[in-house]
């Protein structure tokens, strides 16, 4: 596959009992891939360590098994690539590249704020993919904070307008899974 996942994670390996804010039924429904067939967006939101990337990778794997093309990237890598492509006069080529996969996974949106130029590039990508392919975005910031992430409330609203039109939003709460496991093992208090 072309997915380039950062690690191997599966839905079977996800401990739903440890994460009551995630509905296993909703995840099972998403695993069918119907949302991708519909071109819906999926937002996985929540603080660090709660399983956002795990679920993104696991759902990406399920999508590949269902025959969908999937590309995984971090928000930082995506924005660096698009910004460089623009500087080299190759933006169109890159936008086409990122528009091709039926599912594009953008991990860790919001860890770094975007330059205003980058926010516009991201908007172009979202517009390009709109109603053509699905976006799965993970973020540690709530959608209400995306104005800050994009450094531009107007662009953030335009992006959210498209993303939220046909979307599934899963907000994961709780503390980091790893911290929790360490606490359970008595390694920390």
Q: Which chain residues interact with Mg ion by CB under 5 A? A: 53
Q: How far is the CB of 108 from Mg ion (least distance, A)?
A: 6
Q: How far is the CB of 117 from ligand ADP (least distance, A)?
A: 27
Distances (CA, A) of 189 to 4, 114, 177, 186: 36, 36, 14, 7
Q: Output 39 or 48, the one with its CB closest to ligand ADP.
A: 48
Which helix (H) or strand (E) segment holds residue 98: the answer is: helix 91-99
Nearest to 98 by CA among 62, 123, 65: 123
Residue pair 101/58 in contact by the 8 Å Cβ criterion:
no
Whether residue 134 contacts residue 98, with contact meaning beta carbons closer than 8 Å, is answered with: no
Interacting residues toward ligand ADP by CB under 6 A: 9, 13-15, 18-19, 46, 48-54, 138, 177-178
Angle at CA of residue 20, ends 16 and 9, nearest 5°: 30
Taking CB within 5 to 8 Å according to partner kind, which of ligand ADP, Mg ion, none is near residue 102?
none
Look at residue 150 and give the partner it binds from Mg ion, ligand ADP, none, a contact being a CB closer than 5 to 8 Å depending on partner kind. none
- Least distance from C-beta 67 to Mg ion, angstroms? 26
Name the binder of 33 from Mg ion, ligand ADP, none, CB < 5-8 A by kind: none
């Amino acid at each position: 596959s072309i997915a380039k996942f950062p690690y191997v994670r599966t839905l079977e390996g996800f401990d739903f009992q440890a994460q009551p804010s995630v509905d296993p039924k909703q995840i099972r429904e998403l695993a069918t891939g119907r949302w991708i067939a519909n071109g819906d967006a999926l937002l996985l939101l929540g603080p660090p360590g709660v399983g956002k990337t795990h679920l993104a990778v696991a759902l990406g794997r399920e999508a590949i098994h269902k025959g969908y093309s999937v590309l995984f990237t971090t928000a930082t890598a995506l924005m660096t690539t698009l910004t460089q492509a623009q500087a080299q006069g190759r933006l169109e080529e890159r936008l086409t590249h990122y528009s091709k996969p039926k599912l594009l996974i953008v991990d860790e949106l919001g860890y770094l704020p975007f330059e205003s130029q980058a926010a516009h590039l991201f908007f172009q990508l979202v517009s390009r993919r709109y109603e053509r392919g699905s976006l799965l975005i993970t973020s540690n910031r709530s959608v209400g904070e995306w104005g800050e992430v994009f450094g531009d409330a107007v662009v953030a609203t335009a992006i959210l307008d498209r993303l939220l039109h046909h979307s599934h939003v899963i907000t994961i709460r709780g503390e980091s899974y790893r911290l929790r496991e360490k606490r359970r093992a008595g390694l920390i208090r």
